[in-house]
Amino acid sequence: MPETTSSSLDTVIREALQALDQGLDGYTPALTPQVVGRVNSIGKGIARVSGLTEVRADELLAFPGNGLGLAFNINSREIGVVMLGEYQHLRSGDEVYGTGRVLDVPVGENLIGRVVDPNGKVRDDKGGLRYDERRPLERPAPAIMDRAPVTTPLMTGLKAIDALIPIGRGQRELILGDRQTGKTAITIDTIINQKDTGVLCFYCAIGQRASTVARVIADLEKHGAMEYTTVVTVKGDDPPGLKFIAPYAATTMAEYFMEKGKDVLVIYDDLTQHARAYRELSLLLRRPPGREAFPGDIFYIHSRLLERSTHLKEELGGGSLTALPIIETEAQNISAYIPTNLISITDGQIYLSPGLFSKGILPAIDIGKSVSRVGGKTQLQAYRAVAGDLRLSYSQFEELEAFSRFGTRLDEETRKTLDRGRRVRAVLKQSQYSPRTAAEQIIVLFAVNEGLFDAIPEEQIMAGEERLHTAVHQITDIAEKINAGKMLSEEDFKVMRQTAKEALAALEKE
């Protein structure tokens, strides 16, 4: 090495040492005492910790190996901790530290289109996640005076719901039914129908199989819905603590957008798994069991979650958070503990019948047991004019159909009523992944109400619907009025009737 280079290097080192000496002059290290706890025992999803004398309720605790836990049970002898990640590596005697903060989750625009777990860790292959801020998992629901009436419809694209059980933005509508009756299918169609509406969607999968969640994500990507959807997922083999915090995490992420004045839809699939995870944690932590072994505060954990769904006043941005919780019933028992709790919390329910599902009537919505306590006020004017009496007449048809099975002789008027009812039922059928606009739904419902389908065989009704869907695009001014929620005039109905007649006339000849 040349001599000049060696001397210059010595000079640099000498100057660095002098700067370090000057920086250390007068420095006195400050000692911060820290309380350290110890793991007494570790179980399935929980830990028992002692020594943390100043821990607070719901405080986040740090375990070795970047493990996290939530202080759940606090007494003088030990703390019951819910584990929020991997805990198999922990042993009795390991050190535990209090973090002095509550559990929080990342929020921000970059969450849109991503798949994450409740802690905000990515579960897709799109790289790391950059977020705007972190917000507490548990947040108080908006005050009553901060809420505005639900006035805007949330269109699902499904005729049976939009016409008979309408949902408004800011409403909480429960979807319940036995397993494999199409509950998730309804919510996926609803997400797909929000394209170009400005509604952001959050799909929270709680304890679902990885293959099921992957299929849902693939369906959303296929129909371009992942562009405005965030998936929060917890697998079935994840710790019960993660299942418990999942819906709260999804709600906190969604509230960020609601408070910015946007409309958000959150789907909890499903809260049965959430309730079971909370029951498992409560029993492991020796909390007193109640009805069906659920703890006494099982109602509260769901009410404090769903009360966060609302429509905010214009002064606060006017955003809304619509909740569609899903519950799985057993043997069609909607009067079980968890279903009745959620029915009393929500603003209505959509009940899916396994009997209708087995008959191929899809979506298998039992109109008689389903209700919307708020959405009717948000319904578009055209629905009120066309489908106002449809719910009552359809319920009467179902009752008459059940009664007619006991006899063979029916008068002409009864036979006509049954024929019309069967066509209404056929019209309310809808294939998955084919949501319809309001105008496409209205012209079909109008045609069946006017009896234009009476001369068409039931097996050709679907073909007739397709003709009407095409025909409605010929009357764009009426379609725009329907989608805008304006009242249709008598002249508009005449044009619609004539358009529907011409569209179905060729089908009658066939």
Active-site residue set: 373
Q: Cβ–Cβ contacts within 10 Å for residue 274, how many?
A: 29
Could you tell me which residues come within 8 angstroms of residue 353 by beta carbon, excluding any fewer than 6 positions away?
177, 181, 332, 364, 365, 366, 369
Helix (H) or strand (E) holding 321: strand 320-328
- Give the tokens for residue 77: 């002898």
In whole angstroms, how far apart are CA 329 and each of 69, 118, 203, 234, 332? 32, 25, 20, 21, 6
Tokens found for residue 399: 């009752």
Decide if 246 contacts 230 (C-beta within 8 A): no
Cα–Cα distance list, 273 to 295, 307, 327 (Å): 15, 19, 9
Q: Tabulate helix, strand, coil % of the chain (nearest 5).
A: 45, 20, 35
> Could you give the dihedral angle defined by the CA atoms of residues 293, 296, 298 and 303, in that order, rounded to the nearest 10 degrees?
160
Nearest to 267 by CA among 332, 336, 193, 333: 193
SS3 117: coil
Q: Is 329 in contact with 337 (CB distance < 8 Å)?
A: no
Rg of the chain over all Cα atoms, to the nearest angstrom = 29
Fill in the DSSP letter of residue 312.
B
Question: How many other CB atoms are there within 10 angstroms of residue 233's CB atom?
Answer: 27
Angle between helical axes of 438-449 and 412-428 (0-180°, round to 10): 170
DSSP, residue by residue, 148-177: ----SB---S-HHHHHHS--BTT-B-EEEE
